[in-house]
Chains A and B, each alone.
Chain A
Amino acid sequence: MHYMLTMLETAAAMSERDHPEKAEGYWGGWMAYAEAVRFSGVMVSGNGLQPPATATTLRIRNGQRHVEDGPFAETKEMIGGYFIIDVPDLDAALAWAARAPAALNGAVEIRPVLPPPPPAAA
């Protein structure tokens, strides 16, 4: 099954990305994790994301475009990136989630990816 692991980071953790002393540790942790996912053969895809301040949210209501600065929801933990992995079951996905740096102070949401739609049915 394909699962998306959404990495929810705290503002403090995310600020380490360009912190003079802490950046190395931050990136080191994520690089090691990404390598482990890749080498184990479960990696489908994944990316880190720029901080929520760079987000723009769009809604169409009554035919009108509403564009807002910022993420769709202001929360204490924010999406820092995601991995899509291919593993047999939820327990295996949980094991990978538990290794992610975000699990230590943020959170990891584990969700099965919707299976592809059927080929045009008769």
Chain B
Amino acid sequence: MTAATTGAEVARVARESYGRLVALLAVRTRDIAAAEDALGDALAAALSTWPRSGVPDRPEAWLLTTARRRLVDAARAAGVRRNAAPSLVLTSRVVEDVGEDGAIPDRRLALMFACTHPAIATTIQAPLMLQVVLGLDAARIAAVFLASPAAMGQALSRAKAKLRDAGIPFSESAPEERAARVGAVRDAVYAALALGHGDAAAGGALAEEALWLARVTAVVLPEDAEVLGLLALALHVEARRLARRAADGTYVPLDAQDPARWNRAMILEAERALYRASPMRNPGRYQLEAAIQSAHAGRLFGHPAEPGMIALLYEALVAHAPSIGAQVGRAGALLAARGPEVALAALDGIAGAEAYQPWWAMRAEILSRLGHGDAGAAYDRAIALAEDHTVRAFLLNRQAGGSAPT
């Protein structure tokens, strides 16, 4: 076996099993940083050992055993400095968790509940999940969250220290709080998806990682309709990633995208997730957002987007979660379904959108359809607020009278 193929195999196992192994290594000690260090050492050991000895039959079990040994060594070394007897006991108890057949139990939900515990600042919950469940490094996370790698690294370390020292439980239970905890996990996954979407525009690959996180969440919370909704939403958005850019790199709005450039397999998977969610009879904002995407995706199967139905779905979404984004989306749906006057009235009814770029872009679009003189000024604001240069270029073109989508 060559070093290259071993490297690929280590990368695959790390990707598939990172969160599972961190969860198992940290679940008793609550020390995520130590678990990550030990797993990092074990992965490095795999890279140097496997090319000679071959990939073991159960690579995950091998990594777990190696990482656990590192963890015990580290705890023993720390014991010289402080009384670490309890953590030694906790560390050795990991052994009990592994089944006779070497199967690795899945404690990732406990890990996710810990990362999204209300005692952890909301702003750090999504980065923390991306790091400890997927193994993303602080520098990559920082790039997406518009923070310096050093600051992000510190914030993540602080959060992990709090998890360890404040006694935040790593458990799946807490039935009386379960709904709230699941809600926090969903919101953190959604935050990761939103950032992944922005990152994809900048050429980054965080969108794939966020989709992976949504998949893991659907594995550990298979009974939750909204988690399935999130997964469907993530798949729809990722399925259209390539189509959002023309060959020359310019931005292509949804209505003008060529369905042939969408990822058909992902869209079908999204439809299946949404279909699985529907008999659970627990609709919510994420299923509604996915349903809106689904209505647009119908074009792939020859069903043109039905403006009336999309507007109805937006009404339901705004009723569930009246975010500014949802309200601007509703105005856009009304523009297609009922024309610019109705859309403008809906847009004017949104409070607190002065600095929200999509609000200005929508306003500019509506005003130009009405032939209103203020359209140019609205385009100026939308262009000034745009963070994505391809969106800026698209708006400049529209302002100059470029062809409307559709």
Residues on A with beta carbons closer than 8 Å to the beta carbon of B119: 90, 94
B167 at the interface (CB under 8 A from A): yes
How extensive is the interface on chain A, given as a class? 10 to 19
A111 CB to nearest chain B CB (Å):
8
Residues on B with beta carbons closer than 8 Å to the beta carbon of A121: 80-81
Query: Which residue of A has the minimal Cβ distance to B170?
Result: A89
**Contacts A118-B83, A121-B80, A121-B81: A91 and B166 contacting too (C-beta < 8 A)?**
no
Residues on B with beta carbons closer than 8 Å to the beta carbon of A122: 80
A96 CB to nearest chain B CB (Å):
13
**Which residues of chain B (169-218) have a CB below 8 Å from chain A?**
169, 174, 177
B165 at the interface (CB under 8 A from A): yes
**Which residues of chain B (59-104) have a CB below 8 Å from chain A?**
80-83
**Which residues of chain A (96-121) have a CB below 8 Å from chain B?**
111-112, 115, 117-119, 121
B87 CB to nearest chain A CB (Å):
11
Query: Which residue of B has the minimal Cβ distance to A89?
Result: B169
A1 at the interface (CB under 8 A from B): yes
Query: Which residue of A has the minimal Cβ distance to B113?
Result: A91
Bound form: Cα–Cα A90–B120 in Å = 12
Chain B residues with a Cβ closer than 8 Å to the other chain, count? 13
| B169 pairs with A112, CB closer than 8 A | no
B337 at the interface (CB under 8 A from A): no
B160 at the interface (CB under 8 A from A): no
Bound form: Cα–Cα A109–B260 in Å = 57
Residues on A with beta carbons closer than 8 Å to the beta carbon of B117: 90
Query: Which residue of A has the minimal Cβ distance to B82?
Result: A118
**Which residues of chain A (51-95) have a CB below 8 Å from chain B?**
88-91, 93-94
Bound form: Cα–Cα A91–B165 in Å = 13
**Contacts A90-B117, A90-B119: A112 and B83 contacting too (C-beta < 8 A)?**
no
A90 CB to nearest chain B CB (Å):
5
| A89 pairs with B167, CB closer than 8 A | yes
CB < 8 Å A-B pair total: 32
B396 at the interface (CB under 8 A from A): no
Query: Out of B83, B167, B168, B177, which one reaches A119, CB within 8 Å?
Result: B83
Residues on B with beta carbons closer than 8 Å to the beta carbon of A117: 82-83
**Which residues of chain B (150-171) have a CB below 8 Å from chain A?**
165-169
Query: Which residue of A has the minimal Cβ distance to B84?
Result: A118
Residues on A with beta carbons closer than 8 Å to the beta carbon of B174: 91
Bound form: Cα–Cα A36–B82 in Å = 35
Q: Which of A3, A91, A93, A119: most chain B CB closer than 10 A? A: A91
Bound form: Cα–Cα A106–B155 in Å = 28
Query: Which residue of A has the minimal Cβ distance to B86?
Result: A115
Residues on B with beta carbons closer than 8 Å to the beta carbon of A118: 82-83
Query: Out of A3, A90, A111, A115, which one reaches B169, CB within 8 Å?
Result: A90
Residues on B with beta carbons closer than 8 Å to the beta carbon of A1: 167
Bound form: Cα–Cα A115–B119 in Å = 20
| B166 pairs with A112, CB closer than 8 A | yes
Bound form: Cα–Cα A111–B177 in Å = 21
Query: Which residue of B has the minimal Cβ distance to A121?
Result: B80
Bound form: Cα–Cα A89–B168 in Å = 6
Query: Which residue of B has the minimal Cβ distance to A2?
Result: B167
Additional 17 contacts, C-beta under 8 A, given A91-B174, A112-B166: A3-B167, A88-B167, A89-B168, A89-B169, A90-B117, A90-B119, A90-B166, A90-B167, A90-B168, A90-B169, A91-B169, A93-B167, A94-B119, A115-B83, A117-B82, A117-B83, A121-B81
Q: List 28 A-B contacts (CB under 8 A).
A: A1-B167, A3-B167, A88-B167, A88-B169, A89-B167, A89-B168, A89-B169, A90-B117, A90-B119, A90-B166, A90-B167, A90-B168, A91-B168, A91-B174, A91-B177, A93-B167, A94-B119, A111-B166, A112-B165, A112-B166, A112-B167, A117-B82, A118-B82, A118-B83, A119-B83, A121-B80, A121-B81, A122-B80
Going nearest first, the 5 A-B pairs with the smallest beta carbon separation are A118-B83, A89-B169, A1-B167, A89-B167, A90-B167
